[in-house]
Amino acid sequence: MYPGGQVAYDRAITVFSPDGRIFQVEYAREAVKRGTTAIGMVYKDGVLLAVDKNIDYPFLVPESIEKIYQIDEHIGAASSGLIADARRMVEDCRLEAQRNRIAYDEAISVSEMTRKISNTSQIYTQYGGIRPFGCALLIAGINSHGTQLYETDPSGAYTQYLATAIGSGKKEVEKFFEKNYKKDLTREAAIKLAIDALKQVSSAKFNPKNVNIAIIEEKDKKFEQLDSDKIEATLKAKS
C-alpha cells in the first residue's frame, strides 16, 4: 500500500488497476517510446525496413549496434526499445521459422510469424515473477499472401500497416507519411523517403552511414541488408 491506502497496482504484472490498466505493460510501452526510431514501408516491388542508429559518440563502432535482423530468407525485423529484449524476441522468431520448415517443409508466413511472437509477448503479461518485453518489432516479408508489414506491441497485440514507425519518432514519422507516402513508390523513392523521415526525428547530427536499411522484394523474396555505399549511391541518384 502507498501512503493514504492507495494500492500499488504497478508492482505486479497480474494485477489490474480499477480502470482496467496493467501498468507494467504501459511501462514497457514507454521503453519502446524512448528507443531509436525504426521505419517500415511497403513499396511497389517489396517492403523496406530502416533504422537510424543515432550515434552521438565518435569512438563507437556502428557495426556493433544491430537493430535490423534477418529472421528467415523472406522475413526481416526492426526493433525499438531494450536491445537485449529485442535480441531474445528475434531468437524466438528464428526458432519458430526453423520449426515451421522442419514440421511442414515450407517457409512460415509473415502473419503466422507475427502471431507466434505476439503470443509469446502476451504470455509475459500474465504470470507473476516475469515482466513484459520492453521492445516492439516491425516484422516485414513476402510470401503467398503478398507483401506484409506488421507492428508488435509489448501487450501481445499486433497490427498490419502499409507504412509505420516505432520508437521515439513514431508520431512525427506517421505525420510525415500521411503527407508523402504512396504505395506505388519505387525502391529508390522508398529509400529516399525513409531517409527523409529519419532526418525529421534524428536527435544527433544525421549521418546516412549510421542508417541501416533492409529490403525484401517480390522478384526473389530474399532478405537483403543494404550497405552504406548502396544507400549513398541511391541518395545521389535521386538528388
Model pLDDT for residues 53-86, shown as the tens digit of each residue: 877 777 888 778 899 999 999 999 999 999 999 9
> Can you give the pLDDT at residue 204?
66
Q: Please state, in angstroms and rounded to a whole number, the distance separating the CA atoms of residues 32 and 28.
A: 7
Average pLDDT over residues 193-204: 87
The whole-number pLDDT of residue 1 equals 45
**Interval 182-189 mean pLDDT:** 94
Distance between CA atoms of residues 119 and 116, nearest Å = 5
Q: Check whether 238 has a pLDDT greater than 60.
A: no
Q: Which pLDDT value is given to residue 232?
A: 82
Condensed to tens digits (0 to 9), the pLDDT of residues 97-112 reads 999 999 999 999 999 9
pLDDT at 5: 43
Q: Distance (Å, rounded) from C-alpha 43 to C-alpha 191?
A: 10
Please report the pLDDT score of residue 96 as a whole number: 97
pLDDT at 17: 87
Nearest partner of 148 among 195, 188, 108, 102, judged by Cα: 108
| 93 closest CA partner among 78, 82, 80 | 78
Domain ranges of the chain: 9-238
Cα separation, 120 vs 193, in Å, equals 33
Rounded to 10 degrees, what is the CA torsion of 201, 204, 205, 211?
-70
Q: What is the mean pLDDT of residues 184-211?
A: 88
Total-model pTM: 0.92
Least confident range from 15-24, 112-121, 134-143: namely 15-24
Please give the CATH topology (third level) of the domain spanning 9-238.
Glutamine Phosphoribosylpyrophosphate, subunit 1, domain 1 (3.60.20)
Confidence band for 122, pLDDT divided at 50, 70 and 90: very high
First to last CA, the chain: 61
